[in-house]
Structure 1
Amino acid sequence: MKIYIMRHGEAENLAPTDAERALTERGRSDSISVAEAGVKKGFNDIDLALVSPYLRAQQTWQAISPLLQCAKQSTCEDITPYGESSDVFEYVSALCEVNKFDTVLLVSHLPLVGFLTSEFVPTIAPPMFTTSGLACIEFNPETRKGELLWHIHR
């Protein structure tokens, strides 16, 4: 199965709270460009998209979703910047086992996106994600190990 991990696009620096920081126009266009490059590599048919409740992640999803075929989208409170990667790994693994998903997308934040990548691919150190960065992991739910297939940077 494929696990896609995407960091939100570039966001404004100032907002009443971190959760309310909106995407910039560049963040929107970079996210679309990265998603388009991903589509050329097979990133287009998603069984489940889990999106952080933070505004910039929600707006990133809104920007890229027209490029994708997505069966189900859900806001996930556990994938904020302060999420626990091991908990998210267990949650996604259980969801995939029960629902037989073939593809899951997580739209999240630093530092979680790097730590999540290492949870799914335990042989690598957490990679750095630029804004709008997108990684594709081939994950084996039986062995609970994956391989990083590609990582697109803007």
Structure 2
Amino acid sequence: MQIFIMRHGEAQSRFSQDASRELTPLGQAESVATGKWLSQSAEQVSLAIVSPYVRARQTLRSVQRQVPVTEVMQTEDVTPYGDATDFRDYLRALIETRPELTSILIVSHMPFVSALVDALCQQQHSLLFATAGVAELSFDVSSAQANLVRQYIP
């Protein structure tokens, strides 16, 4: 199974309320470029899990213009300071109970995206994610272990 962990595109400055920050024109272009890359890596995404923050939802919409997404789930669990270990456990359970899922895209924020890669791979990659950057993981259902395949930076 493929798991794509993506940081949102470039957003407005922090002078506004964090959850309501929107993508800049560059952030929109980055998100489209990442969507094109994703469309070459996966024909479709079975499930997208997205932060409720405006910039993450806008990023996902840009990606969806490039690659079909079957189902979208929005959750506070993947906001910037979500607990990556708890979410990893939830994700493992979700994958075990939903065998039809072949690829998952998670659109979130730093530092959560970096911590989630480490939690899923059970080793310290400590990746720095560029805006709209993606880490592609290969997840082995039988061992519930992921391996980092590659990272994309738009």
Q: Equivalents in 1 of 2:141, 2:51: separation in Å?
A: 23
- Which segments of 5 or more consecutive residues in structure 2 lack a partner in the other structure? none
Deviations 1:103-137 (A, max 9, x none): 11100000000010111112342211010001110
Deviation at 1:37? 2.1
Matched-pair identity in %: 33
Residue 119 of structure 1 is matched in structure 2 by 119
Q: Equivalents in 2 of 1:129, 1:44: separation in Å?
A: 23
SS of 1:5 mapped into structure 2: strand
Residue 84 of structure 2 is matched in structure 1 by 85
The question of 1:60 aligning with 2:59 is answered yes
The question of 1:143 aligning with 2:143 is answered yes
Q: Equivalents in 2 of 1:123, 1:52: separation in Å?
A: 24
Residue 38 of structure 2 is matched in structure 1 by 38
Deviation at 1:14? 4.1
Q: Equivalents in 1 of 2:29, 2:44: separation in Å?
A: 21
Letter in 2 for 1:127: L
Scaled by the length of structure 1, what TM-score is found? 0.94
Task: Provide closer, same or farther for how the CA distance between residues 46 and 26 of structure 1 changes in structure 2, counting only shifts above 3 A.
Answer: same
Deviations 1:3-40 (A, max 9, x none): 11000000000454100000001000011112212322
Q: Equivalents in 1 of 2:147, 2:153: separation in Å?
A: 18
Q: Equivalents in 1 of 2:120, 2:74: separation in Å?
A: 21
Deviations 1:70-122 (A, max 9, x none): 11001111000010000110111111111112211100000000010111112
Q: What root-mean-square deviation, in Å, do the aligned CA atoms of Structure 1 and Structure 2 show?
A: 1.2
After the TM superposition, which parts of structure 1 deviate over 6 Å for at least 4 consecutive aligned residues? none
Scaled by the length of structure 2, what TM-score is found? 0.94
SS of 2:48 mapped into structure 1: strand
Q: Equivalents in 2 of 1:18, 1:58: separation in Å?
A: 13
Q: Equivalents in 1 of 2:63, 2:5: separation in Å?
A: 13
SS of 1:67 mapped into structure 2: coil
Letter in 2 for 1:107: V
- Which deviates the most, 109-118 or 30-39? 30-39
